Amino acid sequence: MNKVVYMDYAATTFVKPEVLEEMIPYYTEKFGNPSSFYAVSRETKMAIDKARGNVAKTLNCDLNEIYFTGGGSEADNWAIKGIAYAHRNKGNHIITSKIEHHAVLHTCQYLEKQGFEVTYLDVDSEGFINIDDLKNAITDRTILVSIMFANNEIGTIQPIKEIGAICKEKKIFFHTDAVQAIGNVKIDVKEMNIDLLSLAGHKIYAPKGVGALYIRKGIRIDNLIHGGSQERARRAGTENIPGIVGLGKAIEIANNNLESHAEKMTFLRDKLIDGLLKVPYTRLNGPKGDKRLPGNVNVCFEFIEGESILLSLDFEGVCASSGSACTSGSLDPSHVLLAIGLPHEIAHGSLRLTLGENSTEEEVDYVLEVIPPIIKRLREMSPLWEDFLKKGDK
């Protein structure tokens, strides 16, 4: 295969041509500032509203409950800090999980320094939180529960509706980071009792640097970005119109094709998983079946390092990720893999392959052809493997 095989869609996606096409006029002729009063600016204001409508429709909420942000991380920061600061008179306790994205985890750690208390729920060996643990963690000081919809590393889809019902009953705000779930899983914020939800453009074929936060009507929340009165005076800054237009178009396409996309991804995912598990001493991280994100594959090859697998795959034209990619520069294995109970040495041998729009069965077959010899070669150079063989001889 001469071309590059991209299997890192959970890290970012390309911008779909239809999405880019909608965006381009807003860089050139339709450049007006939506806060101005002439016709060119009304055009941009209408474009924002159209995009807002598309996001609202996808989530089943009102258009006035959607606020555009500068990406998923900003939406997570805003939801958590905004609720924490606005409701600290009621309580200072927040509940989250150990496998959240760093945009949530590091925000919670920051708030701990500001006097908030945070409970980081454990997860089981497949990455699910335990509902009883959640109930037991709630105190009369708890103001916010933040649990991600679907995990970016191991694909675990949490029981969001159940979590939402508990939070509703206890009158605690429920935020979910749905950056990975959007476009892959049906989301209904009403039915699922979600109060705040984060999403990002660049994981669903819109550009980087644009996202949105859904805030249920009537919720009091502090601003994160102060300044002008954009986004109904809740998120200041001249709007990223092309980005917002792109997000609106991309989410519309994703929502219209949700089932067929998920079906295709699930087929390729399961073929990839089955093939990879034929390599000896390989384990799947995260659940099997419909509680796993359709395009997510994450495995550990024992006795070797994820980074060396990535280098070898790169040499074969395959773009993939290892669990520790987000913290590259540090030698710590992924916090998610440690949280599901993997020992350090096994967590180090992880490989994440994530599928998307342009993935094909041919690519899956190619990856399944190149990986076994790579693993074999790396193990032959591995002192851990040598030790293991020696022990086996005894």
Ligand X SMILES: *Cc1c(COP(=O)(O)O)cnc(C)c1O
The answer to the question of residue 103 lying near ligand X (CB under 6 A) is yes
Nearer to ligand X, 32 or 183 (CB): 183
> What are phi and psi for residue 285, nearest 5 degrees?
-100, 130
Rounded Cα distance between 249 and 251, Å, is 6
Q: In 87-199, which residue ranges form alpha helices assigned H by DSSP?
A: 102-113, 131-137, 160-170
Task: Select from 39-47, 70-78, 182-190, 308-316 the region that touches ligand X (CB under 6 A).
Answer: 70-78
The answer to the question of residue 71 lying near ligand X (CB under 6 A) is yes
The answer to the question of residue 355 lying near ligand X (CB under 6 A) is no
Q: Kindly give, in sequence order, each residue whose CB lies less than 8 Å from that of residue 210, ignoring residues fewer than 6 positions away.
A: 68, 69, 70, 71, 200, 201, 202, 240, 243, 244, 246, 247
Active site members: 326
The answer to the question of residue 153 lying near ligand X (CB under 6 A) is no
Rounded Cα distance between 199 and 202, Å, is 9
Rounded Cα distance between 121 and 135, Å, is 11
Of 152, 230, 285, 312, the one binding ligand X (CB under 6 A) is: 152
The answer to the question of residue 179 lying near ligand X (CB under 6 A) is yes
Of 211, 243, 248, 287, the one binding ligand X (CB under 6 A) is: 211
> What are phi and psi for residue 327, nearest 5 degrees?
-115, 30
271-330 residues in contact with ligand X (CB under 6 A) are none
Place of tokens 């992880």: 350
CA-to-CA dists, residue 144 to 194, 234, 286, 325, 326, angstroms? 12, 20, 26, 29, 26
Nearer to ligand X, 52 or 101 (CB): 101
The answer to the question of residue 180 lying near ligand X (CB under 6 A) is yes
Provide the minimum distance between the beta carbon of 148 and ligand X in the complex, in angstroms, as a whole number. 6
Give how many residues touch ligand X by CB under 6 A: 15
384 DSSP assignment: H
Summarize as ranges the residues that interact with ligand X (CB under 6 A).
Answer: 71-73, 76, 101, 103, 148, 152, 177, 179-180, 200, 202-203, 211
Please report, in range form, the residues annotated as the binding site for pyridoxal 5'-phosphate.
Answer: 72-73, 152, 180, 238
Please report, in range form, the residues annotated as the binding site.
Answer: 72-73, 152, 180, 238, 326
